[in-house]
Structure formats: structure tokens, C-alpha cells
Amino acid sequence: MRKHAPKEFKGETGRIIADFIAYGENTLKLSENTIKNYVFYLYPFYCHMNSRGIKQINEIKTTDILSYVEQMDPHTLAKKHCSLNVLRIFFRYLYEHYILTVNYSHIIPKDNYRSQPRLPSTFTDQEIDALLNAIDRGNPKGKRDYAIILLATKLGLRASDICGLRFENVIWERNIISVNQNKTGKMLELPLLPEIGNAIIDYLKYGRPVSQESSCFLQIRSPYNRIQVNDLGNMIRKYLTLARINYSNRRSGPHALRHCFASALLKANAPLPVISEALGHKNMASSMLYLRIDISSLRKCALEVPLVPSLFYKQKGGYFHE
């Protein structure tokens, strides 16, 4: 498979774009996906500026920006929407950091695109049990993976927070897990369930390699760095396959297991504010997405369709009129 050439930002304009991306990554602590989006959507703009002979960022004019917007594919609505949003953020940064004296973010047109979030992927209780039973807990890797998947399915922790879990986050004397969430920056306290606590202890005592690394979960091979988000996705798909669970039409990463936790709360008739707090959302609007998978509650909202009077079918000129 042919790999795409790396996106390199060169010259004065490229340096400023790279500085903006580094600012988002190091100062604002934006997520890895957000940073990737910045690179993905700013690189075509950078290439467009180069094609117009712009070497300095202060050479950019309104016509240059609008010419780039005009050449966007009108049929890729979602991509265009994201690109415009990233450009808006970029030019606001340039103005607020006194790199440009004009705030060009105001001239970037707005669109009326409204994304429809995909229906969350979930697995049944039986599938989750099969997934956990597929893990061989007789070896260090299995002990680690079992504890990780329990954290995702029983507490709904995000993959980034599982990978970043440190010893000080597990407060044994209070039986809680306390993390500063990587995505939202919001503190989250969750109960340290006996099942999860025992699995973590089993891994720390009999599975974790000797290391000065402060993160709980480490890779199996030397130099025993902390696990990464991509490791979790591959791990879960491996055990889904071992458990013979068909996931071809569903998402199969760690976020799908987080959805299972939300689904379990819905089945237990937990109030929406409780679900929002347990998932660590900033507001309940994010949690409302999961209401669409609560089929039993949705059925209660269904209205009966009134019967059509028989005279309707016999009216003159009607399809059934004789």
C-alpha cells in the first residue's frame, strides 16, 4: 500500500502554521485528533498560498482567502465545514497574537451544515461477557488487558484516560479513581469497583514489568513505555475476534465499550444528569446522544396510528373506487 507523503510546512508561512499547531498541542493541550485535523485542513490552504506566490503571512489578502474558499469542493459538505472552521480558528489566532493586524476570521463565510452524529455502537451484555471471557488472564498481557477492558466497560473511561492512568489516580483508601480528563480537563471521580480493583492489583503484582514509569499500564516489550490509544483499539478487536463476535457493522474501538457503559446506565433507568456526570461530559447535551440507543424508552414514546375510515377507500376517483 502506498503511503501518503508527510505534510511538511516550509518557509515563513509554513513556520507560522507549524507554530499555531504546536500552540494547540502544547499550550491548549488539544486532543491528538484535533491536532491531526489542524494539519489535514491547513495543509491544502498552505499549498494554495504557495501557488499564489505568498511567502510571508502578512502578504495574505482577502482575495487570497476567498479564492481558496471558492475552489473548495461544494459536494463534500462536512469536509468544507471543518476546513472553514479550522481556518477561522487559525486567523483568529494570528490576530490575537499580533501576527496580523487584520482579523480575517470574520470574512471566512459560514455555512449551514449540521452534522448528524452516528448512532453509538454498542454490544450486548452477553457479548461483553464473552469479550472478557476471551482474555487469557494467566499471563502478564492478559492481566493488563483484562483490567483495561473492565475500566472501559464498567466505568466508561475514555481511552486517553485509561492510557494516562497513573498510580496516584487510584485512591485505594477511598475506593475511587480520580482523573483529570484528557479531553475536557474536568476532574472525574468514579467508584473503584471490587472487580476492577482486584484486576488492577493482579496486574500490578503479577503482570506489570519493573519500570520507573508512573503510568499504570505499560507495553509488554522493553523499554516498557506506557500504552497508547492505538494499542487499545487493536487489543479490543483481537478479543472480539477470539470471542467470535461479529463487529463488521459496528465500531469496535474503546469508545464503543464506553457506549456500552452508557447503555447499561440507560437500562438501569439512571437519570440523564447522573449519566452525564458518570461519563465526565461538560454538559448534558453530549449525553443526550445516547438516548437514541434506549430502544425500550423510545417505544414508550410511539403514538398509535389512527385507523383510516373505510369510506376513504371508496371515495369517488380513489384508487380503490369501483
Active site residues: 158, 183, 255, 258, 281, 290
Here the contacts of 185-193 (C-beta below 8 Å, separation 24 or greater) are: 185/29, 186/280, 186/282, 188/161, 188/280, 190/155, 190/157, 190/278, 191/155, 193/154, 193/155
Question: In the block, which residue shows the cell 447535551?
Answer: 285
Largest Cα–Cα distance of the chain, in whole Å?
88
ω into residue 223 within 30 of 0, thus cis? yes
Which neighbouring-strand residues pair with 148? none
Which neighbouring-strand residues pair with 188? 179
Contact 149/132 with Cβ under 8 angstroms? yes
- 36 half-sphere exposure, CB direction, 13 A CA radius: 3
Question: In the block, which residue shows the cell 513505555?
Answer: 225
